[in-house]
Chains A and B, each alone.
Chain A
Amino acid sequence: MEPTFRASMNWLHTWAGVVLGGLLFAIFWMGTLAVFDREIDRWMMPMTRLEMPAGAPISIDSLRPSHEVAAAARSPNWGIIFPTEREPTLRMSWREGSSLVQRFIEPATGAVLPDPGTWAGTRFLYPFHYMLHIRVQDVGIWLVGLAAMAMMALCVSGVIIHRKIFTDFFTFRVARKPRRLILDLHNMTGVLGLPFHFLISLSGLVIFFSLYFPSSWQVAYNGDRQAFFDDAYGTHRPQKAGEPGGMASFDAMAAEARGLWDGATLRYFFVRNPGDARSIVQIGRLDQGIVSSTYDAAYFDGPTGKLISYRSGTPPVMSIQRFISGLHLIQFRHWALRWVYFGLGLVGCVMIATGYLFWLESRRKKHAQLGLGGARIVEGLTIGSVTGIVIATLSFFAVNRSLPLGATFLGEDRAALEIWTFYLVWLATFAHAWLRPGRAWIEQCWAVVAFAVAAVVLNWITTGDHLARSLAHRHLWAIAGMDLLLLVAAAMAALTALKLRRRQATRAAVPAPLAEKQHA
């Protein structure tokens, strides 16, 4: 479209970045947090800060009363997820009408823990990352898909427009003017994270291949999605008999499933159509030792407890799909790699933010001269998208540690109040950014400091798990990690605010034409 290929790619890079940068930052930020979603869960649900039991797991049959409740409520399923090192509670769930009921159980005793009243990391932050909590017509998932495609296009166009990609990687001109520094930082984070950014976008899309490119199964399977899933995943189509039926021993089925996989640990135990004469029990295996996100499962006939079929190993193409998905979902056990993902996620956030800043710095003066409002609008958008979502997330943490269990307000329960806080605070940061240009960055940095420190202090007050205590107990390291990261974030935000203010002060002290020379 532009005269040369490189100029076209420059146009694409600039405008895709400006239009989708805010969405991309939100997705990257939430994805980075989701790397530690279960640790965030434990921080936000103090009743689940348990030690992993050393002894044998509790009997699944002892949880039968809750299965009967689910059967009576005609829930389409009833399931439990077994504890792991990162999630030391047993999670039980079923549906009552349209709402999901979740119970957390202490694995050592079988005692039901009090309702945590929060969606925390796994139900709020993590789904936000891939569907933005916009369920209507899957709009959220499609928007994230579009953003991921744009991210790959941004990676490609970024490499093309970058003339000296290798030498520039070693160039970081701290002492130079801010615009040059921002561009250097954008280039450095962009090149450093390039393989990660490209692969994390592609693998995220590949997880939902059947949703984003349904044409393949629609044509090959004549529009029957379930038939494709039966073939590809070996799933069993649960068919209701419509008559009540019994249920064989849970523990016996679980033991048989373990035997099928040479004594492997189990991940979950699901009953499809509980209470029905044709109920099916699906038992999944836990595989934390490999990258692939496996879906090995055994199916049992509920009333008789007889094995229907089981799956172990996958065909070649599907194994590639599971490996790529596993790369993205990081359910494997590797703490060093988990931190690398977290770090590269933050690198991505810096890259997106500096891309925005570079656009602003290169246009601010010209826009002001021409009387165009573009730079101001984009600056507000940038502030709300970058510091705004960080503040909103921190307010989500702080309000979680302030509301008592069972709190309600205006008919909304505790979990909903936390989510309302997140969205309202986020909205307020945009308003603030547009209302106070020139000051918004500094003030929002101070808001980050305030909320982050408040979250740490509130956690101490409400749970007694201060840093000295959480660092001393191994099962509280997740809490210590969260508190420490919050404090590091507060320190970095405070430094940024001070530095920005000093720069503003020097700019104000020097007569305007001189300042232009120094900083433009």
Chain B
Amino acid sequence: MRRISAMQGVSVAVRLVAAIGGGYAVAAGLAALAAVVLPATTDLPRSEAVVLASMLAFLVYLALLIWGFAEQHLSRLWVIFATAALASWGGAWGLVRLTAGN
């Protein structure tokens, strides 16, 4: 049994924030995006799209959590999560602004 060094402690903390917080941000962003895109592109009613997006978000979050703890390079983890979160939230917000303008 080895003692945990300070560096390892910091890296575990950074990973926890990335996997739990970052994973949630991405899953929530994708849910928001799906809730806007689905009613606009299919004939699924808006409330149905919201329910579907939120339900699927749990499985997306689970997959992201697993990957968040499996990925060896912390930097790659952060870059991908940050990009995906920005893209999904930005896309959802942009689409809402776009459709509201019509």
Contacts and interface: CB of A to CB of B under 8 A. Distances in A.
Nearest to B33: A219
A66 interface: no
Given A1-B70, A153-B65, A220-B46, A215 B1 contact: no
Contacts of A213: 27-28, 31, 53-54, 57-58
Interface string B25-62: 00111011011100100001111111111110111011
Contact of B32 (A152, A215, A372): A215
B32 A216 contact: yes
Contacts of A217: 35, 50, 54
Contacts of A222: 96
Nearest to A320: B55
A210 B54 contact: yes
B48 A216 contact: no
A470 interface: no
B36 A232 contact: no
A179 to B, nearest CB: 16
A338 interface: no
> Secondary structure at chain B's binding surface: helix, strand, loop or mixed?
helix
Interface string A334-359: 00000000000000000000000000
Contacts of B44: 317
A513 interface: no
A9 interface: yes
A367 interface: yes
Contact of A216 (B20, B50, B74, B93): B50
B72 interface: yes
Q: Is the interface of A mostly helix, strand, loop or mixed?
A: helix
A232 B34 contact: no
Contacts of A232: 47-48, 50-51
B66 interface: yes
A317 B48 contact: yes
B62 A367 contact: no
B46 A1 contact: no
Nearest to A230: B47
B17 to A, nearest CB: 14
Interface residues of B, number: 40
B69 A12 contact: yes
A69 interface: no
Contacts of A370: 1, 3
A218 B71 CA distance: 31
A331 B75 CA distance: 47
Given A8-B70, A370-B1, A228 B47 contact: yes
Among A1, A153, A367: residue with most chain B CB under 10 A: A1
A212 B44 CA distance: 22
B47 A231 contact: yes
B50 A221 contact: yes
B58 A1 contact: no
Nearest to A210: B54
A153 B62 contact: yes
A206 B62 contact: no
Contact of B48 (A3, A205, A221, A318): A318
B51 A321 contact: yes
A219 B55 contact: no
Interface string B3-30: 1000000000001000010000001110
Nearest to A11: B69
B62 A156 contact: yes
Interface in B52-102: 52-55, 57-59, 61-62, 65-66, 69-72, 74, 92-93, 96
A216 B46 contact: no
A363 B27 CA distance: 36
Contacts of A9: 66, 69-70
Contact of A215 (B28, B55, B66, B69): B28
B86 to A, nearest CB: 14
B46 A317 contact: no
Contact of A8 (B20, B54, B69, B93): B69
Contacts of A215: 28-29, 31-32, 35, 92
Given A8-B69, A370-B1, A220 B49 contact: yes
A231 B39 CA distance: 14
A206 B34 CA distance: 17
A149 B1 contact: no
Given A216-B53, A367-B1, A370-B1, A1 B47 contact: no
Contact of B35 (A206, A216, A231): A216
Interface in A216-259: 216-222, 228, 231-232
Residue of B15, B35, B36, B50 contacting most chain A CB atoms (<10 Å) = B50
Interface in A455-490: none
A8 B15 CA distance: 12
A366 interface: yes
Contact of A219 (B27, B32, B71): B32
B36 A231 contact: no
A362 B17 CA distance: 29
A115 B32 CA distance: 47
B28 to A, nearest CB: 4
B50 A228 contact: yes
B61 A220 contact: no
Contacts of A97: none
